[in-house]
């Protein structure tokens, strides 16, 4: 669907566009003013996109965030970006959720967390990540 929006073949409430990126209102917002920022070129997730594309996307994310703070008088802005279905990615096109937050908006603020059993488990997980780098 996002490729169709980027190509102008599907409707969206666009708030910003440049050569590489597009920012538009989410059709199912967490908070009114919730914006999606995408690269116009198709990349399934963050791992596929070249650094130059990520730079352009993040510049647009920053621009939108500043506009939400200025134009909507948002007290804060939450960024969400998911990769893969297990992480909650529903649309397989790289995108960032830029969500304005207000002191009394009633939306959830945090998330459930877990803990490591001990330092050895924490260190083993860290080592597995380092091995992947």
Query: In the annotation, is 42 catalytic?
Result: no
Geometric angle at alpha carbon 99, from 33 and 90, rounded to 5°: 105
Contact (CB, 8 A) for 39 and 61: no
CA distances from 116 to 61, 87, 123, 133 (A): 33, 20, 9, 22
Please identify which of the residues 34, 42, 93, 95 carries the catalytic annotation.
95
d(CA 41, CA 113): 34
d(CA 22, CA 18): 7
Q: Sheet of 14-17: strands edge to edge?
A: 14-17, 21-25, 35-39, 96-101, 76-80
Catalytic residues: 95
């Amino acid at each position: 669907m996002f490729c169709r929006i980027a190509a102008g073949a599907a409707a969206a409430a666009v708030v910003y566009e440049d050569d590489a990126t597009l920012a538009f209102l989410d059709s199912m917002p967490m908070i009114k003013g919730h914006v999606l920022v995408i690269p116009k070129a198709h990349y399934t997730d963050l791992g596929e996109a070249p650094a130059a594309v990520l730079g352009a996307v993040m510049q647009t994310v920053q621009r939108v965030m500043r506009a939400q703070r200025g134009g909507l008088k948002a007290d804060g802005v939450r960024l969400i970006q998911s990769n893969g279905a297990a992480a909650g990615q529903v649309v397989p096109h790289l995108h960032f959720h830029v969500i304005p937050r207000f002191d009394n908006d009633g939306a959830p603020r945090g998330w459930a967390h877990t803990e490591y059993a001990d330092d050895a488990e924490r260190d083993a997980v860290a080592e597995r990540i380092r091995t992947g780098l």
